[in-house]
Amino acid sequence: MDKYHHSQRLLDELEVVLRQHCHWQLTPPDPQALASTEPFAIDTLDCHQWLQWIFIPKFGQLIALRLPLPERFEISPYVEEAMKEQTGVEAILAITCQLDLLFKQH
């Protein structure tokens, strides 16, 4: 499986896990919250919101358009800290760690 297909499968799994643990929202945050320039939109969004409204769509767009995928990135340390007291964090981390591992490889 190539990196694009593998990435899309992991994004799909991430959405499923977010839904299973009630971290998926039907209503988007305010447009100003989505326009944050801080890493992970930490000043305006919760971690699960960032995953749903910024990370998954932007990463999905890179995959759909077959644009260059990021190299050497990690989101799991942020997810682990930001969601440490929330339900489903272990399941979410299982997927984000797979994404991190995939993009540590060349």
| Beta carbons of 41 and 34 less than 8 angstroms apart | yes
Helical axes 3-20 vs 89-102, angle rounded to 10° = 170
In order along its 106 residues, the chain shows pLDDT tens digits of: 799 999 999 999 999 999 999 999 999 999 999 999 999 999 999 999 999 999 999 999 999 999 998 888 899 999 999 999 999 999 999 999 999 999 886 5
pTM beyond cutoff 0.85:
yes
The number of CA neighbours under 13 Å toward the Cβ of 66 is: 1
Homologous superfamily of 3-23+45-102: YqcC-like (1.20.1440.40)
Alpha helices per DSSP H over the chain: 3-20, 31-34, 47-50, 56-64, 76-82, 89-102
